[in-house]
Chains A and B, each alone.
Chain A
Amino acid sequence: MTGIASPAGGVHRIDTRPTEDTMYTLTKLTKTYRQGDRTVHALKNVDLSIGAGEHVAIQGPTGGGKTTLLQMLGGLDRPTSGTISIGEDEISKMPDAKLAKIRAKEIGFVFQNFNLIPTLTAQENVETALEPLGVPGAQRAERAAAALAAVGLADRAAHLPSELSGGQQQRVAIARALVKEPEVLLADEPTGALDEETRDEILEILEGIRRERGLTLVVVTHDSAVARRAERRLHLAAGTVTER
Chain B
Amino acid sequence: MFFTYLRRELAGRRRQTAIIAIGMALAIALVIIVDSVASGVKAAQASVLESVYGVGTDITVAQSPTPPGEGEGGGPRFEFDAGAGTTADGTTELSQSRLSAGFGSSTFDESALETVQGIDSVAATAATLSLTNTTFNGEMPDFAQMQGSDGGPVAEEGTGQAAPPQGGPDGAGGSAFDVDSFSVLGLDPAADAVGPLSAVSLTDGRALDEGDTGEHVAVLDADYATSAELTIGDTLDLGGTEFEIVGTVTANDADSASASNVYIPLDVAQTLSGEAGMISSISVQAASSTDISQVQADIEAALPDATVSTQEELASSVSGSLATASSLVANLGLWLSLAVLVAAFLIAILFTVSGVTRRTREFGTLKAIGWSNRRVVGQVAGESLVQGLIGGAAGVAIGLLGIAVINLIAPTLSGSASSGGFEMADPGGGPGGATGGEATGGVRAFGPMGQTAAATTEIALNAPVTVSVIAIAVGIAVLGGLLAGAIGGWRAARLRPAEALRSVG
Contacts and interface: CB of A to CB of B under 8 A. Distances in A.
Query: Do A and B share a complex?
Result: yes
B373 A109 contact: no
B167 to A, nearest CB: 99
Nearest to B504: A113
Contacts of B5: 117, 119-120, 124, 128
B383 to A, nearest CB: 11
B504 A103 contact: no
Interface in A210-244: none
A174 interface: no
Contacts of B496: 76-77
Interface in A129-161: 129, 131-133, 137, 140
A71 B4 CA distance: 30
Interface string B5-17: 1001101110000
Nearest to A123: B4
B365 A100 contact: no
Given A76-B368, A101-B370, A107-B370, 10 more contacts: A67-B502, A76-B496, A103-B370, A104-B369, A104-B370, A105-B370, A119-B11, A124-B8, A131-B1, A131-B375
Given A97-B372, A118-B12, A71 B498 contact: yes
A176 interface: yes
Interface string B364-386: 01111111110100000000000
B351 to A, nearest CB: 16
B371 A128 contact: yes
B501 interface: yes
A77 B497 CA distance: 8
A137 B3 CA distance: 12
For B5, B13, B498, which residue has the most chain A Cβ atoms within 10 angstroms?
A: B498
A111 B1 contact: no
B98 interface: no
Interface of A: 67, 70-71, 74, 76-77, 96-97, 100-101, 103-105, 107-109, 111, 113, 115, 117-120, 124, 127-129, 131-133, 137, 140, 176-177, 188
B9 A76 contact: no
B370 A119 contact: no
B365 A111 contact: yes
B500 A132 contact: no
B362 interface: yes
Given A104-B369, A120-B5, A127-B1, A76 B498 contact: yes
A38 B366 CA distance: 31
A132 B501 contact: no
A67 B501 contact: yes
22 contacts: A70-B501, A76-B501, A97-B372, A97-B373, A100-B367, A100-B371, A103-B497, A104-B370, A104-B371, A109-B368, A113-B504, A115-B361, A115-B500, A117-B5, A117-B362, A117-B366, A119-B9, A124-B5, A128-B5, A128-B369, A129-B369, A140-B1
B46 to A, nearest CB: 53
A140 B375 CA distance: 17
Q: Provide the main secondary structure of the chain A interface.
A: helix
Q: Provide the main secondary structure of the chain B interface.
A: helix
Contact of A131 (B371, B373, B500): B371
A107 B384 CA distance: 31
A132 B8 contact: no
B313 to A, nearest CB: 59
B369 to A, nearest CB: 5
For B5, B369, B375, which residue has the most chain A Cβ atoms within 10 angstroms?
A: B369
Nearest to B365: A115
B365 A132 contact: no
B349 to A, nearest CB: 22
A133 B375 CA distance: 12
Nearest to A135: B1
Nearest to A160: B12
Interface in B483-499: 496-498
A101 to B, nearest CB: 7
A124 B361 contact: no
Contact of B372 (A74, A111, A128, A132): A132
Given A76-B501, A120-B8, A96 B373 contact: yes
Given A100-B371, A105-B370, A124 B500 contact: no
Contacts of A124: 1, 4-5, 8
A105 B497 CA distance: 15
A109 B8 CA distance: 23
A107 B496 CA distance: 17
Given A103-B369, A109-B369, A119-B9, A128 B501 contact: no
A76 B370 CA distance: 10
Contacts of A105: 370
